[in-house]
Structure 1
Amino acid sequence: MNQFYPEIEPYNYFLLDVGHDHQIYVEECGNPDGQPVLFIHGGPGGGCSSNDRRFFDPDVYRIILFDQRGCGRSLPHGSLDFNETQYLVNDIEKIRQKLAIDNWHIFGGSWGSTLSLVYAENHPESVLSLVLRGIFLGRPEDTIWTFSSGGAIRIFPDYWQEYLNALPKSNQSPSIKIAYDLMVGDDKPLAMKVARAWSKWEIRCCTLKPNDEFVNAATNDESCWTLARHEAHYMVNDCFLSPNEILENSHRIKNIPTTIVHGRYDIVCPFDNAWLLHQALPNSKLIVSETAGHASIEDETKHHLINATQQMSKINNSQ
């Protein structure tokens, strides 16, 4: 099995002013003269981690990571103002222009796959290749699956009950809107309680095998505050996408080499997301992690992703 590349530190990092009082954190790692690759994190609201640098050979790649608006090291922390999908797409283009990159590889997982696809469909000329993991198409049925009346709660009803127990008794219903209103309301202790419960519910569902270390690392108060509130903000607004936007616009990226990696037992983003995307992109390569759920740190998925980045470097050399 492929393992992470050794830990590395950025050789450059900065805050980029993207307007509307938002400054986004950007860092560069690896080889300054290498092939540029942009890592797009999940959530929305997840932020990047040091392990996200390690999917890429630092001798081959100029590795670029950024924290999306309002999360991670971006400022102001937790801001949902002017925080929509198209703003994030525009931010990515501003990063590319700031770094004077003509075109680059894109690597994104979960919500990061959503944003990668929307960005590529808007700027296909800027994308050399796509490596996507844990596909989330951003349709209403995809949000309902995990956070409302969908199938996930039938698989983990005990975890779901713990989430419901965090809601006021008058609001114990599986409504994303109710949770969102509580998390952006004036009662900050209650908002934090709901955000913790929301995040813990999702993160516990991410791995095929229970992984307490993974759950604990992803559910500290700062992470929960942005993950839960950002996700609910996007979900109540249909991810700021038109109905079935990604699949309907897939013809725009049909010629971009695309590798899709998806866990067979992904409860957060069911496998049909990846299957439908693969059908819409017949030239794409679909790799199924047969022993994994949603998380990128699961051994088989990690192996496939690192193998995909190794293959990705040959795309640029062949053009």
Structure 2
Amino acid sequence: MKPLYPKILPNATHFIEVSEQHQIYVESSGNPAGIPVIYCHGGPGAGASSDFRRYFNPEIYHIILFDQRGCGRSLPSPSVEGVDMVSMIADMEKIRQFFTVDKWLVTGGSWGTTLSLAYGQSYPQHCLGFILRGVFLATQVEYDWLYRANGVAKFFPEYYQDFLLPLNEQQKRDPLSAYYQLVTSDNEVAAIAACKAWYLYEDRMSSIEHQADSKQEVDDPHIAHCLAMQSAHFFYHNSFMAEGQLLDNIHRINHLPAFILHGRYDMICQLDIAYQLANAWPTAQLQILPVAGHSGFERQTIDAFCQAADKMAEFIGNH
């Protein structure tokens, strides 16, 4: 098993003004003259982990991480005002221009795959390729799987019941809509309780290697608030995309190389979604991780991602 690369510090951190309201936190590490790579974090709203730097060989890669607008260290945070898919894509393009990068490797996990694909389909001329871990295509089937009673709730009924606790009987008929109303409401007590319940629901199901069964409290209330608010905001609005948009537009990037990594026991993002994507993308290679869940930091996932980054560097260097 290939481990994460050793811990490194950023070479520099920046706040880039992307609108009158928003500044996004951006950092760079590794080799400034290396292959540019950007990593898109999940959630939406989860923020970038310092461990994302460690997927990439710092001697070969110029590693760029950022907190998407309205979350993490970006300002203001948490916020959903002026936050949508078009603005997220525009923010990534501003980051590329800030670093004067012509083409970069676009990577991400979970919701980060959604953003990576949406960006790539908007700016294929600036992409070297993709590494996508835990594919999420933002379709109604995926929202229903997560938030309706006949989806992942069948595997985790007790977690789903806890997820429904902040809702009344009427609201339980449409949990996603109800949560959106709660987490964006002026009732701060109700909003915070809902954010914690949302965060715990996803956290408990995210890994088969690092069990969170007994978890009753969130580690970081700010992260929970950002993740729940932005996730509910995006998913309630269908991620500001047409149904099936990412698959329908795969022709825009299907000449580019891609590694698609997916845990067989990923309970957040369904394997068959990744399978559909790989089947529609002739230059993509799907690797099903036989004993992995959703988390980006299980042993098989770390091994697969680091190896994919190494192989992609070799491929890019030869072309």
TM over 0.5, shorter chain: yes
Equivalent residues in 2 for 1:36-51, closer than 5 Å = 36-51=36-51
Counterpart position of 1:225 = 225
Indicate the SS of the match to 2:29.
strand
2:164, 2:175 within 8 Å by CA — same for their partners in 1? Answer: no
Quick one: structure 1 residues 44 and 276, their matched pair in 2 at CA, closer, same or farther if it must change by over 3 Å? same
Q: Structure 2 counterpart of 1:203, which letter?
A: D
The alignment status of 1:277 with 2:272, answered yes or no, reads no
Asked whether the 8 Å contact 1:149–1:174 carries over to 2, the reply is no
Q: How far is 1:291 from its partner? A: 0.1
Distance 1:215 1:74, change over 3 A: farther
Matches within 5 A, 1:209-248: 209-212=209-212, 219-248=219-248
Which residue pairs with 1:202 in the alignment? Answer: 202
Q: CA deviation at 1:163?
A: 1.4
- 8 Å CA contact 1:108–1:116 kept in 2: the answer is yes
What is the match of residue 63 of structure 1? 63
Structure-2-length-normalised TM-score: 0.96
Listed as ranges, the matches of 1:150-229 within 5 Å are 150-168=150-168, 171-212=171-212, 219-229=219-229
The Cα RMSD (Å) is 1.7
Distance in 2 (CA, whole Å) between partners of 1:217 and 1:276 is: 36
Shift of 1:216: 8.4
Equivalent runs, 1:1-319 vs 2, <5 Å: 1-168=1-168, 171-212=171-212, 219-319=219-319
Quote the Cα distance in structure 1 between the aligned partners of 2:143 and 2:151: 11
Task: Give the Å deviation of 1:69.
Answer: 0.6
Give the whole-Å Cα distance in 2 for the aligned partners of 1:218 and 1:115.
26
| SS of residue paired to 2:162 | helix
Aligned residues: 319
Alpha-carbon shift at residue 316 of structure 1 (Å): 2.0
Q: Cα–Cα, structure 1 residues 217 and 36, in superposed 2: closer, same or farther, change >3 Å?
A: farther
How far did residue 148 of structure 1 move?
A: 2.3
Identity %: 37
> Contact 2:4–2:306 (CA<8 Å) still a contact in 1?
yes
Instruction: Report SS of the residue matched to 2:259.
Output: strand
**Deviation at 1:293?**
1.0
Contact 2:203/2:212 (8 A) holds in 1: no
What CA distance in whole angstroms lies between the structure 1 residues aligned with 2:73 and 2:150?
Answer: 33
TM-aligned CA deviation for residue 118 of structure 1: 0.7
- DSSP-derived class of the 1:27 partner: strand
Q: Determine the C-alpha separation between the residues in 1 that align with 2:103 and 2:80.
A: 29
**TM score, norm. by length of structure 1:** 0.96
Contact 2:183–2:195 (CA under 8 A) maintained in structure 1: yes
- Secondary structure class of the residue paired with 1:212: coil
1:94 Cα deviation (Å)?
0.5
- Equivalent residue of 1:19, what SS? coil
Q: Aligned-pair distance for 1:171?
A: 3.5
1:30-69 residue CA offsets vs partner (Å, 9 max, x unmatched): 1111111001101110100111111001111110000001
Native 8 Å contact 2:196 2:218 kept in 1: no
Gaps of 5+ in 2: none
Local SS of the residue matching 1:286: strand
Distance 1:49 1:218 in 2: 16
- Partner SS state of residue 18, structure 2: strand
> In 2 relative to 1, CA 214–133 (structure 1 residues): closer, same or farther, beyond 3 Å?
farther
Deviations 1:169-228 (A, max 9, x none): 663445201111011111101110011001100111111245239978974210110101
Judge conservation of contact 1:16–1:24 (CA < 8 Å) in 2.
yes
Q: Which amino acid aligns with 1:47?
A: G
Contact 1:203 1:218 in 2 (8 A): no
**Does the 8 Å contact 1:199/1:224 carry over to 2?**
yes
Cα distance in 2 for residues equivalent to 1:102 and 1:186: 43
Instruction: Give the 3 Å change call, closer, same or farther, for CA 110–242 of structure 1 in structure 2.
Output: same
User: 2:167 & 2:161 partners in 1: Cα distance?
Assistant: 10
Which amino acid is 1:12 matched to?
A
**Which residue type is aligned with residue 129 of structure 1?**
G
Q: What is the CA distance between 1:303 and its match in structure 2?
A: 0.6
Distance 2:135 2:19 in 1: 29
1:20·1:82 contact (CA, 8 Å) conserved in 2? Answer: no
Q: Does the CA-based 8 Å contact 1:129-1:315 persist in structure 2?
A: no
- Within 1, Cα distance between the matches of 2:70 and 2:283? 36
